[in-house]
Amino acid sequence: MKITKISVFQKGLPYVGGGLAVGDRTEERTRSFDTFNTTVVVVDTDAGISGCGESCPWGASNLGALPAMPGLAAALLGTDPRELHKIERIMDAAIEGHPYAKSTVDMACWDILGKSTGVPVYMLLGGKLCDGAPLYRCVMEQEHDKIGAEMEQYRAAGYKYFKLRVGIEPEKDIELIRFAAGIAQPGEIVYADANCRWTLHDALKVVRAVEDLDVMIEQPCLTYEECLHVRSRTNLSMKLDELVTDQAMAERLTQDMIADVACVKMARIGGLTKARRIRDYFVDHGIKVVTECMMGGEIVSAAVSHFAASTPAELLFNTTDLHSYNMERSGTPAPPTSDGRMYCHDTPGLGVEPDYESLGDPVAVFE
């Protein structure tokens, strides 16, 4: 089996809430997003089997997947997509960096391998170790009554994990965290995600002010050293996200015992092949994981559902149904969700196909 064609599609995914505001280090201390630009890659083969992948990074440094695709396609055409580790090595040799682009191709190759062998991707990852992955939901509001209403809406749908968007103003963040923790019900987990946006001074101020609460702090600062310092000054649980970029960093944070939870995002790491390796390292060392991706539609959510399903239930902290944050589709059908959990399809491959009507014409074709 050989790769004969690689098609690239791009699609705007409007955020379902109208606008997503997160803290940053600009003078305004906040940045808003209303649409996310996702990239879908379709890999065709001479055996008549095709696979799809998707990545949707976002933020100030997002260049997307398209710039790297000509170089990757030139190296990949004529290769066997089922040889996943060989594909990984070819992509890394062809172009340095660009994990978002590599992730789309890698995901499509897993889809092809599953279809060619007649099994769902979770079987290729080791089997179903979690039947229904717990979902978290981001609480975007900043006003108390709206926070309460949003948490109640998600609670009614079965969600038990609530992520607060903080990192704009320390005093406001402290107030928000204390309020959300105060209205959380037994069995629910509240954690505050600063997305690297606190200075070290801000982070220490916040954790000291909420030390008495049963909450988790996520990625308080930009650098590893700052996060490690915050960890040494608090008894609160900590989750790392943006710093989980490769195997070396996974080993470092494990040795330093800096995180109770580590977030493994396929697009940031360079694909499911690399993400599985890092996920398994954390699992082997007893660190709970969040198995997910950056943003995106149904295709990336399908990959996330298989990634989560193949994680031991006792070490899977949670995941998220990324497609539910968008008003447009990248593929169909979406992985099913019920009572705050996401399930994966049992059909061969990822169990999802591109929605060509929604995606429109490809922006680039390599063959």
pLDDT given at position 33 = 74
Query: Which tens digits make up the pLDDT trace of 289-334?
Result: 999 999 999 999 999 999 999 999 999 999 999 999 999 999 999 9
Amino acid symbol at 195: N
Q: What pLDDT score does 210 carry? A: 98
167, 110, 109: which is closest to 138 by C-alpha? 167
Nearest of 294, 286, 291 to residue 259 by alpha carbon: 286
Instruction: Report how far Cα 96 is from the mean position of its chain's Cα atoms.
Output: 22
Beta bridge partners of 108: none
The upper half-sphere exposure of residue 154, i.e. CA atoms within 13 Å in the direction of its Cβ, equals 28
Instruction: Tell me how far apart the alpha carbons of residues 290 and 279 are, in angstroms, rounded to a whole number.
Output: 9
Query: Tokens for 329?
Result: 């589709």
Q: What is the CATH number of domain 3-118+356-366?
A: 3.30.390.10
Measuring CA to CA, which residue among 2, 46, 13 is closest to residue 355?
A: 13
| Ranges of residues in the chain whose predicted pLDDT is under 70 | 18-31, 59-63
Could you report the per-residue pLDDT of 251-297, keeping only the tens digit for each? 999 999 999 999 999 999 999 999 999 999 999 999 999 999 999 99
First to last CA, the chain: 15
List 332's β-bridge partners, or say none: 353
Q: Closest Cα partner for 75 from 137, 141, 6, 121?
A: 6
Per the structure block, which two tokens stand in for 247?
A: 């195997």
pTM: 0.94
**41 within 8 A of 104, measured Cβ to Cβ:** yes
- Same CATH fold, 124-354 and 3-118+356-366? no
The two structure tokens encoding residue 114: 């599953």
CATH code that applies to domain 124-354: 3.20.20.120
Task: Report the distance separating Cα 219 and Cα 201, nearest Å.
Answer: 14
> Quick one: pLDDT at residue 8?
97
Q: Where are the domains of the chain?
A: 3-118+356-366, 124-354
Cα-to-chain-centroid distance, residue 326: 14
Distances 174 to 13, 200, 221, 229 between C-alpha atoms, Å: 32, 15, 16, 19
